[in-house]
């Protein structure tokens, strides 16, 4: 059944079975794939840690940057489970507070890249011709630079800060989403249901939003989840080089940089924030693989 403009009509009672089917696929995927379950658990722990940082941190003030030079460079103990850094700050508190900027930057960068890249890719793939050629040549120009190198150059020009680093990473990331959206759009623009929508006079923006974008949601979400982990690794690299977060911001990459000169004697200063980066990135990558199975109905067996 269709509406008067040729858009498929979805019965209200069909929404519940669809949600139930997705829930069933989620449960089945988590049961069959221990890696997906582990990734989901890790991400949940870090999200909870970021949300409850002021209450979970043993010393919230030190987590924000307060110093205690009388307790500097203490090894891990019951008093300081992760030890203390060169300024006497509790490393466990610093790592807990570091989850906030890491996850916020990951979400901000991926969201900006999606908001810029997906519409441009959809327009290029749907229109074709000179518009497609122009937009794709601009995309190729950005893709010709390694993403991290381009982000380093942009951040160096704008000035070292977490906001500038986030914008720089978004600038270097959007072309990948443009390419992804263009590929999906090109594969669908001649589909029968798109032709039917054109015949019934449905406007191009409505076709793009209601038909093309809906079918592109799954690959975009999967790619965004995986990219969020890569962004955390990239922002940590920029912080390590002094181009992103600045002291006393509780940033994992900055903590690793502060502990690199004493990694043999005070190993805990760089090790624990490095493990946080590793686990978060791993969890997001594993979750991205699981989301592909959950969101794709063809994976149901």
Structural tokens at position 151: 């982000």
Model confidence, pTM: 0.86
User: Rounded to whole angstroms, how far apart are CA atoms 197 and 222?
Assistant: 28
For residue 2, the cross-strand partners are 8
Res. 4 pLDDT band, cuts 50 70 90: very low
Res. 17 pLDDT band, cuts 50 70 90: low
Structural tokens at position 179: 């390419």
Instruction: Average the pLDDT over 201-219 and give the result.
Output: 84
User: Rounded to whole angstroms, how far apart are CA atoms 201 and 58?
Assistant: 62
What is the reported pLDDT for 252? Answer: 95
What is the torsional sign of CA 67, 71, 73, 77? Answer: negative
Instruction: Average the pLDDT over 222-251 and give the result.
Output: 92
pLDDT digits (tens, 9 = 90+) for 24-75: 767 776 677 788 889 889 999 999 999 999 999 999 999 999 998 889 999 9
Question: What is the chain's alpha carbon radius of gyration, rounded to the nearest angstrom?
Answer: 23
Q: 290: Cβ–Cβ under 8 A, 6 or more apart, which residues? A: 29, 30, 33, 35, 36, 39, 40
């Amino acid at each position: 059944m269709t509406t008067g403009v040729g858009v498929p009509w979805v019965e209200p009672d069909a929404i519940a079975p669809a949600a139930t089917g997705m829930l069933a696929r989620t449960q089945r995927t988590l049961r069959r794939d221990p890696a997906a379950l582990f990734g989901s658990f890790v991400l949940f722990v870090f999200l909870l840690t970021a949300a409850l940082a002021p209450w979970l941190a043993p010393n919230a003030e030190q987590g924000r940057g307060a110093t205690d030079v009388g307790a500097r460079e203490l090894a891990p103990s019951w008093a300081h489970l992760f030890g203390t850094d060169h300024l006497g700050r509790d490393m466990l508190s610093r790592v807990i507070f570091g989850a906030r900027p890491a996850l916020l930057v990951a979400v901000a960068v991926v969201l900006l890249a999606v908001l810029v890249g997906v519409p441009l890719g959809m327009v290029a793939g749907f229109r074709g011709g000179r518009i497609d050629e122009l937009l794709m040549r601009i995309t190729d120009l950005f893709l010709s630079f390694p993403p991290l190198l381009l982000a380093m150059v942009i951040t160096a020009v704008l000035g070292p800060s977490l906001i500038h680093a986030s914008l720089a990473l978004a600038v270097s990331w959007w072309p990948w989403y443009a390419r992804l959206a263009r590929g999906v759009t090109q594969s669908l623009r001649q589909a029968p249901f798109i032709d039917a929508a054109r015949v019934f006079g449905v406007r191009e923006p409505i076709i793009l939003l209601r038909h093309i974008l809906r079918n592109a949601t799954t690959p975009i979400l999967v790619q965004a989840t995986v990219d969020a982990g890569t962004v955390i690794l990239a922002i940590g690299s920029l912080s390590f080089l002094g181009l992103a977060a600045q002291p006393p911001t509780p940033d994992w990459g900055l903590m690793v940089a502060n502990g690199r000169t004493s990694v043999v004697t005070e190993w805990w200063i760089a090790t624990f924030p490095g493990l946080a980066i590793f686990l978060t990135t791993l969890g997001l990558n594993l979750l991205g693989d699981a989301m592909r199975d959950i969101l794709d109905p063809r994976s149901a067996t």
